[in-house]
Amino acid sequence: MLDHLNNQRGIKLNKLKFNDDNTYVATSETVAVEKILALTPLCTQITTIKNIECMSDGEYVSFICKVVEIGSDESVLLNNGSKRIQKLKRTTVIADNTNSIIMNIWENHFDVIKKDVCYRIKLAKAKMFNNEITLTTTVHTTFETIEDIHIINISTTPQISTESVVIGSITSIGRVQETFKCPKCYSTDVECNGKTIKCTTCNSRSVYLTKSTTSEKLTLSILDTNQITLEFTVDISKLCELLERCGRQDLCNNDLVDHEDVLLTLSSITVFVHYNTRNMQINNIVLNNIDNK
């Protein structure tokens, strides 16, 4: 059925299962036969960004746009059944002649989209969060390069994540405090009751899944050259690499927070840090004036 949808072909469905709530369900016995129809599904009809702003959460849309900006890679944790998986996404700004909007693209689309290029994009999904509409790509989203649309309207360029750098000294390390989010709408306005999470934003209840990746990260405070303290999260593996650079690889076998020599060693050096300005995640941390030449 998805193949017929993506190719905008009509179908005739046989052997659907009828439910008591007056709905039909496609089962393994359902047969889809191609049928010529003089109509096009709304989700594949080209619309404008202005119209997309009025759509509901979860609607699929197709449109023509120009890619205005592409942000840096962001690591995102997603629920996959009983497991949590880590994926990369990039936040982009796209625009047409009516308005601009944020669209999140996932790593399977990184190589098919470029800045300042125009595309015909089909079957992106509208997402509503905190009364703001954005777009996200899915496994069904397609990109077709088209000629430049020339005139675009960027009323307000949304902020997207970018990478920045800082030079300074490490002043503290700590454990990441676990935060609870709704796995459905990602709202933090939730109540954690034992093994479940109740979300007051989307009025849902979900099974609480332990974040195994929390133990792989630490918090890090860095005092920069302007005497401003910045708070980051960093992978433990990156701190171990830094300790090895300092000749203290023996400390990596200890609890990095509990062992005093870890902080004493790290606070005695000046570090050069690349980080994501949106989530303050450290992408790279090295010794200043030694590793960074």
Percent helix / strand / coil, the chain, rounded to 5: 15, 45, 40
Co-location of 23 and 47 in the same domain: no
Residue pointed to by tokens 């050259």: 225
Q: Are residues 253 and 167 in the same domain?
A: yes
Per-residue model confidence (pLDDT) at position 215: 66
- Do 13 and 109 fall within a single domain? no
CB 77 within 8 A of CB 94: no
DSSP run (H or E) holding 231: strand 229-235
What was the pLDDT predicted at 138? 94
Higher-confidence residue of 289 and 207: namely: 207
Same structural domain, 173 and 264: yes
Say if 97 falls within a structural domain: yes
Residues 125, 230, single domain; the answer is: no
Average pLDDT, integer, range 136-156? 89
Asked whether residue 202 is domain-assigned, the answer is no
Q: Does residue 72 share a domain with residue 10?
A: no
**Domain ranges, residue 128:** 43-146
The three-state DSSP-derived secondary structure of 82-140 is CEEEEEEEEEEEEECCCCEEEEEEEHHHHHHCCCCCEEEEEEEEEEEECCEEEEECCCC
Please indicate, yes or no, if residue 194 is contained in any of the structural domains: no
Residue 186 has pLDDT above 80, yes or no: no
* Residue 66 resides in a domain: yes
Check whether residue 278 and residue 240 sit in a common domain: yes
Cα 273 to Cα 288: distance, rounded to the nearest angstrom:
9
Higher local confidence (pLDDT), 58 or 288: 58
Helical segments of the chain, H only: 2-6, 49-52, 236-245, 260-266
Selected residue with higher pLDDT from 210 and 172: 172
Element at 168 (helix H, strand E) = strand 163-175
Q: What is the CATH number of the domain that holds 174?
A: 2.40.50
- How far is residue 282's CA from residue 218's CA, in Å, rounded to a whole number? 10
Q: Write out pLDDT tens, residues 227-273.
A: 989 999 999 999 999 999 999 999 999 899 999 999 999 999 999 99
For residue 3, with 0-12 CB atoms within 10 Å meaning exposed, 13-18 middle and 19 or more buried, which class applies?
A: exposed
What's the total number of domains in the chain?
3
Determine, yes or no, domain membership for 106: yes
Please give the single-letter amino acid code of residue 26.
Answer: A
* Residues with Cβ within 8 Å of residue 114, at least 6 apart in sequence: 67, 70
Residue at 222 is within a domain: yes
The percentage of the chain sitting over the pLDDT mark of 90, rounded to a whole number, equals 45
Express each pLDDT in 45-86 by its tens digit: 999 999 998 888 999 999 999 999 998 777 776 767 667 677
Statement to judge: residues 95 and 22 lie in one domain: no
| Stated pTM of the model | 0.50
Taking alpha carbons only, the member of 267, 278, 214 closest to residue 72 is 278
What pLDDT score does 141 carry? 95
Here the CATH number for the domain that contains residue 59 is 2.40.50.140
Q: Which of 3, 2, 60, 272 lies closest to 164, judged by CA?
A: 272
| Residue 139 vs residue 193, higher pLDDT | 139
Instruction: Answer positive or negative: Cα dihedral of 59, 62, 65, 68.
Output: positive
pLDDT of residue 157: 56
Per-residue pLDDT, 5: 75
**Could you tell me if 29 and 56 lie in one domain?**
no
